[in-house]
Amino acid sequence: MFESTSHEDRAGQATQRLHLMVCAGTGCVSNNSMKVKAALEEELAKHDLTREIKVVATGCNGFCGVGPLLLVQPDGILYQKLKPSQIPALVEEHLVKGRPVEKHMYHPPEGEQPVPLMNDIPFFKKQVLITLRNRGLIDPENIDDYIARDGYQALAKMLTQLTPEQVVEEVKASALRGRGGGGFPTGVKWETCRNAHSEDGAKYVICNADEGDPGAFMDRSIIEGNPHSVIEGMLIGAYAIGATRGYIYVRLEYPLALKRFQLALEQARAYGLLGEKILGTDFNLDIEVHRGAGAFVCGEATALMASIEGRVGEPRAKYVHTVERGLWNRPSCLNNVETWANVPLIIREGAKWFTKLGTGDVSENPWGGSKGTKVFSLAGKVNNTGLVEVPMGITLREIIYDIGGGIQDGKKFKAVQTGGPSGGCLPERLLDVDILDLEVDFDTLVKAGSMMGSGGMVVMAEDDCMIDVARYFIEFLMGESCGKCTPCREGLRNMAKILKRICDGEGRESDIELLEELGHAMMDGSLCGLGTSAPNPVISTIRYFRDEFEAHIRDKKCPAGVCRELVEYSIDSDRCNGCTLCAQACPARAIVGEQKQVHAVEQTHCTKCGACYDACNFHAVIRN
């Protein structure tokens, strides 16, 4: 149970000169960051430094690729890839003797000097933080940390200065668009919900934390790092639309997010920020957490609401929108985590401040551009993977090369996948324009043939097979389709079958056309948004990588060398010097040859794992 710290406790608490911010996001925790934290505490006690140095567990820092991370404040020095065994020496050097330790700092891929300060690392430099502004600076399990960073001030401002109508107008003027994928203007949604009639006066605000796209973890990170920003956003939304109750729908796979939400709600209640007579006014709202069972389809609005009601999580047709008849047939306002987390800043700083960042002109209508920032989870073949928040309109080049640090192993950039399973793959060149120059926002991505989605961004290099990627997404969707309507259920199953046979070298001449026909039938005939967008990974791949499909089907070749059935390994007798490295690397013992003699691959034993290709230092192993 949370005990709010009394005034006396706080005054008695020493003001420590250094704060060690240990990342306790899921990525770092799974890399043993809590053991690093324990080791730090132990060493500090040993050196009698606990009075002057404080250890704080924070939410996700975003630079997940090099965790566990430790940020030393106020110096701003960032240590990466820490192991508990390295802590005694680090404490001795940096904290006792004041000599920052270079070998644990970030080293840029070019192998230059280490970069001591977090804000000098290119990964952080280009980011602009709104929803993640408290990341790494607060302890998400302590409401006091959020309050010290002006938390709940937007709520106080609203309750003392703004009417619900003014709040709706402010959010409309900010042109905030739904960060869950659709990009629908949040203020417009709120207004419709506010004006909707409820027979008994009940209305609901709901937070969609059922983030399910493969490779996407923006929402989890916001909850884990700053749960109160979501709660404050929901309080503001509830006041604006006149809601009486709130629900947070968290997927089962996010245990840490769930725990932090529950703790945050408890702490907010203890401070009178939730419940009855909030901050001493007549505004009442309580929020409860609903755990989902981890079904992708429950991220769809109507399925999510059915699941909260205790029914099977299946979508329904939306002739009547959920803002009019949603949860328990009452007007319901559903926004995703990132959208809610933007709201407090908009109310506190004003719509004008928010619209300074971003693209387009929204003075006439909120569809005119994309304002503010977007959080992306940057994954795939980039050097710096992790979570990044960037202003709308930033180019893909800045995201992939400046923040992401370029492609791993100096390979060539091939494509970028955005929008998760509902999005698409964009090729390197599109209509004679370098895709890296694309200024990312809701509308440019749709125009290019993909979508913003919730913010997954998977970067692919020359050695990624686009058919294989499409197959991955289709197989994922096939498993997640709820099965209620035929086009989605059967369409996905057949698409998966066709893609498998193409990858296995059994593709037929008419398969591309068949995939397109199936895709269009699914787009036309599916009930919910997940079904209508499910063929996108295939359709966009056919559109931009048709030659790769043709190579698989006609020539029975996989140009990227990924599809095993279409690849054959052999050894170039001119280049092989008989060093035996490939034979040693081969797990199937399929490589024969004496030392210093030319080797050969026995095709009957070869499992096509590619270990020999990676092992050879002389480019003598040929893959085709």
Partner 1 sequence: MKLTVDKLAQLRDELQAQKAAREGEARAQVTVHMGTCGISAGAREVMNALLDALRERQITDVRVTTSGCAGLCSSEPMATVQIRDAAPVKYVDLSASKIIRVLDEHVLGGQVVKEFALAVGSERIA
Q: Can residue 595 be called a binding residue for partner 1 (CB under 8 A)?
A: no
Smallest distance, partner 1 to C-beta of residue 278, A? 9
Map residues 132-151 to x or -, x wherever contact with partner 1 holds by CB under 8 A: -----x------xx-xx-xx
**Among residues 45, 46, 76, 497, which is the contact residue for partner 1, using CB under 8 A?**
76
Nearer to partner 1, 9 or 361 (CB): 9
DSSP, residue by residue, 146-186: HHHTTTTHHHHHHHHH--HHHHHHHHHHHT-B-TTTT--BH
Give the amino acid at 358: G
Nearer to partner 1, 255 or 272 (CB): 272
Q: Can residue 272 be called a binding residue for partner 1 (CB under 8 A)?
A: yes
DSSP 288: E
Nearer to partner 1, 275 or 578 (CB): 275
Of 409, 420, 490, 405, the C-alpha closest to 455 is 420
Q: Can residue 273 be called a binding residue for partner 1 (CB under 8 A)?
A: yes
Smallest distance, partner 1 to C-beta of residue 163, A? 16
Quick check: bond before 537 cis, omega within 30? no
DSSP 362: -
Smallest distance, partner 1 to C-beta of residue 160, A? 6
DSSP, residue by residue, 169-230: HHHHHHT-B-TTTT--BHHHHHHHHHHS--TTS--EEEEEE---STT--HHHHHHHH-HHHH
Q: Can residue 291 be called a binding residue for partner 1 (CB under 8 A)?
A: no
Structure tokens at 393: 């309109």
Dist. CA 171–CA 36, nearest whole Å: 42
Smallest distance, partner 1 to C-beta of residue 348, A? 12
**Among residues 34, 156, 588, 609, which is the contact residue for partner 1, using CB under 8 A?**
156
Cα dihedral 89, 93, 96, 98 in deg (nearest 10): -160
Q: What number of chain residues touch partner 1 (CB under 8 A)?
A: 43
CA max distance for the chain: 87
**Which range of residues in 95-103, 107-115, 176-184, 424-432 is near partner 1 by CB under 8 A?**
95-103
**Among residues 34, 38, 256, 270, which is the contact residue for partner 1, using CB under 8 A?**
270
Look at strands 18-23 and 53-58 and give their pairing.
parallel
Smallest distance, partner 1 to C-beta of residue 15, A? 6
Map residues 99-128 to x or -, x wherever contact with partner 1 holds by CB under 8 A: x-----------------------------
**Among residues 10, 310, 410, 509, which is the contact residue for partner 1, using CB under 8 A?**
10
Dist. CA 439–CA 445, nearest whole Å: 8
Q: Can residue 8 be called a binding residue for partner 1 (CB under 8 A)?
A: no
Smallest distance, partner 1 to C-beta of residue 10, A? 6
DSSP-assigned beta bridge partners for residue 58: 23
Dist. CA 409–CA 461, nearest whole Å: 10
Smallest distance, partner 1 to C-beta of residue 20, A? 10
**Among residues 51, 429, 508, 605, which is the contact residue for partner 1, using CB under 8 A?**
51
Dist. CA 40–CA 72, nearest whole Å: 12
Smallest distance, partner 1 to C-beta of residue 381, A? 35
Angle at 45 between CA 43 and CA 50, to 5 degrees: 115
> Could you list the residues that contact partner 1 (CB under 8 A)?
4, 6-7, 10-11, 13-19, 21, 51-52, 73-76, 95-99, 137, 144-145, 147-148, 150-153, 156, 159-160, 270-273, 279-281
